[in-house]
Structure 1
Amino acid sequence: MKRNNRKIKTKNKARMPTSSPAIQRRITNTGYSETGASHRKGSLAAWNPIRSSPQSDIDVNLSTLRARSAELYMGTPVATGAIRTSRTNVIGSGLRVSPRPKYGLLGISSAEAATWAKRTQEEFDLWASSKLCDIYRKNNFYDMQDMAYIDYLVDGDAFAVLRYQPPRPNMPYLLRLQLIEGTRVCNPGVQALIGAVVPWTVVVQNPDNGNRIVNGVEIDSDGGVVAYHICNRYPYDPTNLSQNPDWARVEAFGAATGLPNILQISHDERPEQYRGVPYLAPVIEVIKQVSRYSNAELTAAIIKAFFTLFFTESMPHADGVEPVEAVVQQLNGIPRQPLDPNSMELGPGTMNTLPMGYDVKTVDSQRSLSTFEPFTRELIKQIGAAIGQPYEVLIKSFNSSYTASRAALLQAWSEFKMRREWFARDFCQPTYEAWMAEAVFLGRIEAPGFFDDPLLHKAWCNTEWYGPVMGVLDPVKEAQAASARVLYGFSTREKESMEMTGTSWDENVERLSIEKAKLEQEDLPVYPSVQQGESAQNSDPDDDDETKTKGATI
């Protein structure tokens, strides 16, 4: 009998994996999945925000942010102080231009460039210092800077339309500026008039050319700004219901000149962001809560200041028998009258006689305010950190040491200088270049090659803008530091004059020359001995906030 050696074919069965600690380990994500991106931790499980486009995150909420920001600015001390402090230190009385033509590219000498710059500065001031540069003829260019900057902080952005009108007496230039608040730049349609924005109305299409309009800003297929749509009235204005709304389309740049027709003053923080965010947007909730807390404590303090009296009637005796005086009055036919509290008067030296059976009790409305100041101080510190203003600068309270106070000033000044550069780039410099083009075209300023070569155009238009100077805690120390910077070539006399005193070094030298001649004419010492503080060199500024000045002759 033969043995059957055929192999029986069976279906392949999956083999169980070898049990090992590495395979049995639970498979999880790595990196942030167990920290900031965890969905299992109790502190983060219910926190699931969604990141979307700038239009969804910003533009949908912009009308609410503007309204709340404006209300805080008009009625909350912390918000008002934050915006006005920024305005005062960034703009002040207005940014002043200092022309700096690049004479190396222009082929002129430094002396010729200085003469040209002085002439151009005087010519620009002819236009800028006149109220005729305003389309409404109410403010000059420096006052309009103040208004535009506040609108930029409150609404997130501000606009200025460059318009041209016939020249007037004492005004040879045609250029006029028309300031527009950001709320008037919006999408055409009825939805904008009710003051509310829904997501599907943020981006609409221009039926004439197919471009998209993002909250009043028209963009092409590449996302470049093409035009702005400006309503002829405020979208929500109950006082102007008779005027039918209409939108004007203003092209961003002139087709022939390439110069801007409208300026948008804003600062974008995200790509594809076309509208600005209010300055107070990150701290609106905290400022409102601080305001509510302050109002509650103020109300409590007012109530505590009231002097409240309660007139109480004595209870009958335990046996139910009335006092003898009351019985005698009733026997004599004198009825018992209830006490009228309004008949009693309070005043200095006043004495009142209460009827029998009445007593006076006072109410002591004690309330502790020991936690109010430290609690609000910590919240205001957070507000200041978010908007770039240290607590000392925001509250105008410099009670720390000299070093700490100066550090706060320097920290705030970094924020102010940065915003000044933004504002000058968005508003002042484009306005200056538009004015320069007209001045050269009219022949009032000579600038060879201005319209021929873009490089020469920028060389003639090169400027520096100066504004308010940083406050100083010790003028002697600041002057010594400025002298050292000039001595070692880190700065110039003109720059230090502008930043320390806001004056022109050239004008200072000319005036000093006149004063010197006057002093010599009157036989007076030209450089009298003055007292200079030495405490900065001989003592630690942290030892005493108010250092005493010792005499030294210079």
Structure 2
Amino acid sequence: MNIFDKVVEILSPERYLRRQAARQAIKVLNSGYSNHGASKTKKSLLGWNYKGGSPDDDITDNLDILRQRSRDLYMGAPLATGALKTYRTNVVGFGLRLKAQIDAEFLGMDPEEADEWEKTAEREFALWAKDCDATRMMDFYEMQALVFLSMLMSGDVFCALPMIQRPGNPYLLKISLIEADRVCNPPEITDERVRGGIEVDQYGAPVAYYIAQKHPLDKYAMGKNKWIRVPAFGEKTGRRNILHIMEFERPGQRRGVPILAPVIETLKQLTRYSEAELMAAVISGMLTVFITSNTPETPLGESIPLEQQIDTADQNSYELGNGAIIALAPGEDVKEVNPNRPNTAFDSFVTSMSRQIGTALEIPHELLIKHFTASYSASRAALLEAWKAFRMRRTWLAAKFCQPIYEEFLIEAVARGRIKAPGFFDDPAIRMAYCGAEWHGPSQGQIDPLKEVNAAALRVKEGFSTRAREAAELTGSDFERIVRQRAREERMMREGGLTGGPTGEEVLAVPSVDNEE
């Protein structure tokens, strides 16, 4: 019992009893997490503003600010720019390439027929991919990179699938990319089912999208903005009209969150710090002085000749020139200023902060700043950890963007008779069997190529992988084309009498050298 309780007990016994009863109630209530992360009494947690809301309250209502700050960081913060471009380059690179993989057994095809069908589908898809952009600015593979980068930067991106006739193009299907800001609520909409420009049904499934004809942030847009309500699916065919490309982090979420959202403040403050250090370093490279005067009412000394001055409009500007000699008036003195820059702790501090940023973005510090100084094992471990995230997002992009569009392409190609697919429109299971595909992107890259090749050969030998997959992963090449090209080259070598090169077994037997420095 403290002194205050003793005083209360003497002056007001009833109040003292109430206080003791309240203390006992708190002891009963405080159990489990209430003693730790959920405590409302610990001083270390009293200042924590932890209040949250629904996915729409926490995410949708804050997206305008998050998007604009994320884009601003991309345009002006080197670490943010590097992080997003690192993702784009490693996940998409030159584009995810189609490798048709139909279910030949279910469709009753022999391997030769299946191979021929797949080659035809890939050939037709390559024809369509060259002119699939509604704006006629990009091919399908460039659009993949833009879709992925826009999703990372803005949180999500939308794709409309209009049918546009163009001379010389046998396909009508096109892709129209819509930036996230254009999908928003019209001012007159008050229906609670519509938030963030997306109307949902009782189960939370999208019913329609409200798309602004003009970008809401376009300051030069003339006239009143108008919105178009686009149904999510066709009423008769069930065809998907809009692809919504986003990553989910909460059930019931309608809109995506920019990947930089958790580190926006850290990136901005680190950028400010870097700019301040840069400016300080620039200033320290100049002769910076202060002039002290006992007669402040009179002008300071004799300045640089008028014709050599830079800022003549500012009467309070005093300038120094190369090798200039400036006379000082009586009572004036010069004192130098040394800002002690560059700061010796700058690099270690930025490195520490970039590690935290990389952790949040799933990019190891070494890859984030493109600086590999550790051993082979450590560098490879960092690269492998990063590729877990890259592969996950590559699979996600293929499933959310590439595969749905490939299926839409096949529908038109089969309907037009350019690809023969019996039963395609009769049974959804048959259609799914025809739509099977893999999407291969750029390879991971190797720190020690010989070790990587040895590992790939062992995976193929033990049946853990195929030559086609390993060729795509290691070099981004098509194994069948490699075989055909090698057959021609070997034939040319024999005809030219150039034989006797090392065999594959001899090459693989050469030991690699670790760099463990």
TM-score range, shorter chain: 0.7 to 0.9
Q: Does 1:543 align with 2:508?
A: no
Give the aligned partner of residue 94 of structure 1.
Answer: 95
Q: Which string of whole-angstrom CA distances, capped at 9 and with x for unpartnered residues, describes residues 319-362 of structure 1?
A: xxxxxxxxxxxxxxxxxx99524269865xx6969799898765
The verdict on how the C-alpha distance between 1:250 and 1:314 changes in structure 2, with shifts beyond 3 A counting, is closer
Query: Is the 1:520–1:526 contact (alpha carbons within 8 Å) kept by the matching residues of 2?
Result: no
Q: Does 1:186 align with 2:177?
A: no
The 5-angstrom pairing of residues 281-292 of structure 1 reads 281-292=261-272
> How far does residue 52 in structure 1 lie from its aligned partner after superposition?
1.5
The verdict on how the C-alpha distance between 1:532 and 1:342 changes in structure 2, with shifts beyond 3 A counting, is farther
Query: Is the 2:104–2:114 contact (alpha carbons within 8 Å) kept by the matching residues of 1?
Result: yes
Q: Does 1:392 align with 2:393?
A: no
Give the aligned partner of residue 373 of structure 1.
Answer: 347
> How far does residue 402 in structure 1 lie from its aligned partner after superposition?
0.6
Whole-Å separation in 2 of the counterparts to 1:250 and 1:472: 46
The match for 1:172 among 146, 170, 189 is: 170
Give the aligned partner of residue 300 of structure 1.
Answer: 280
Residue aligned with 2:177, SS: strand
The verdict on how the C-alpha distance between 1:226 and 1:26 changes in structure 2, with shifts beyond 3 A counting, is closer
Residue aligned with 1:253, SS: coil
The verdict on how the C-alpha distance between 1:277 and 1:363 changes in structure 2, with shifts beyond 3 A counting, is closer
Whole-Å separation in 2 of the counterparts to 1:78 and 1:167: 42
The verdict on how the C-alpha distance between 1:244 and 1:30 changes in structure 2, with shifts beyond 3 A counting, is same
Q: Which string of whole-angstrom CA distances, capped at 9 and with x for unpartnered residues, describes residues 364-393 of structure 1?
A: 442351111111111111110001100011
Q: Tell me the number of residue pairs that the alignment of Structure 1 and Structure 2 aligns.
A: 476
The verdict on how the C-alpha distance between 1:238 and 1:526 changes in structure 2, with shifts beyond 3 A counting, is farther
Residue aligned with 2:43, SS: coil
Query: Is the 1:157–1:265 contact (alpha carbons within 8 Å) kept by the matching residues of 2?
Result: yes
Give the aligned partner of residue 73 of structure 2.
Answer: 72
The verdict on how the C-alpha distance between 1:26 and 1:69 changes in structure 2, with shifts beyond 3 A counting, is closer
Whole-Å separation in 2 of the counterparts to 1:486 and 1:112: 25
Residue aligned with 1:230, SS: strand
Query: Is the 1:101–1:113 contact (alpha carbons within 8 Å) kept by the matching residues of 2?
Result: yes
Give the aligned partner of residue 434 of structure 1.
Answer: 408
The match for 1:466 among 424, 427, 440 is: 440
Give the aligned partner of residue 382 of structure 1.
Answer: 356
Whole-Å separation in 1 of the counterparts to 2:281 and 2:465: 54
Whole-Å separation in 2 of the counterparts to 1:25 and 1:50: 22
> How far does residue 221 in structure 1 lie from its aligned partner after superposition?
2.1
The match for 1:212 among 182, 193, 208 is: 193
> How far does residue 490 in structure 1 lie from its aligned partner after superposition?
0.5
Give the aligned partner of residue 220 of structure 2.
Answer: 239
Q: Does 1:120 align with 2:133?
A: no
Q: Which string of whole-angstrom CA distances, capped at 9 and with x for unpartnered residues, describes residues 67-101 of structure 1?
A: 10010011110110010000000111111110000
Larger gyration radius, structure 1 or structure 2: 1
Give the aligned partner of residue 450 of structure 1.
Answer: 424
CA-based RMSD of the aligned residues comes to 2.8
Residue aligned with 1:175, SS: coil
Give the aligned partner of residue 258 of structure 2.
Answer: 278
Amino acid at match of 1:376: V
> How far does residue 25 in structure 1 lie from its aligned partner after superposition?
11
Query: Is the 1:65–1:278 contact (alpha carbons within 8 Å) kept by the matching residues of 2?
Result: yes
Residue aligned with 1:259, SS: coil
Whole-Å separation in 2 of the counterparts to 1:145 and 1:57: 29
Whole-Å separation in 1 of the counterparts to 2:435 and 2:281: 59
Give the aligned partner of residue 84 of structure 1.
Answer: 85
> How far does residue 405 in structure 1 lie from its aligned partner after superposition?
0.5
Q: Which string of whole-angstrom CA distances, capped at 9 and with x for unpartnered residues, describes residues 268-294 of structure 1?
A: 111110110001001101000100110
Give the aligned partner of residue 49 of structure 1.
Answer: 50
Amino acid at match of 2:30: N
> How far does residue 253 in structure 1 lie from its aligned partner after superposition?
1.6
The 5-angstrom pairing of residues 277-356 of structure 1 reads 277-308=257-288, 339-342=301-304
Amino acid at match of 1:64: I
Whole-Å separation in 1 of the counterparts to 2:300 and 2:240: 83
> How far does residue 220 in structure 1 lie from its aligned partner after superposition?
1.4
Query: Is the 1:311–1:341 contact (alpha carbons within 8 Å) kept by the matching residues of 2?
Result: no
Whole-Å separation in 2 of the counterparts to 1:70 and 1:25: 48
Give the aligned partner of residue 203 of structure 2.
Answer: 222
> How far does residue 248 in structure 1 lie from its aligned partner after superposition?
1.1
Whole-Å separation in 1 of the counterparts to 2:290 and 2:252: 67
Give the aligned partner of residue 499 of structure 2.
Answer: 525
Query: Is the 1:92–1:468 contact (alpha carbons within 8 Å) kept by the matching residues of 2?
Result: yes
Residue aligned with 2:117, SS: helix
Residue aligned with 2:447, SS: coil
Q: Which string of whole-angstrom CA distances, capped at 9 and with x for unpartnered residues, describes residues 178-211 of structure 1?
A: 0000100011117xxxxxxxxxx8xx32xxxxx8
> How far does residue 26 in structure 1 lie from its aligned partner after superposition?
4.8
Q: Which string of whole-angstrom CA distances, capped at 9 and with x for unpartnered residues, describes residues 138-167 of structure 1?
A: 111111111111110111000110000224
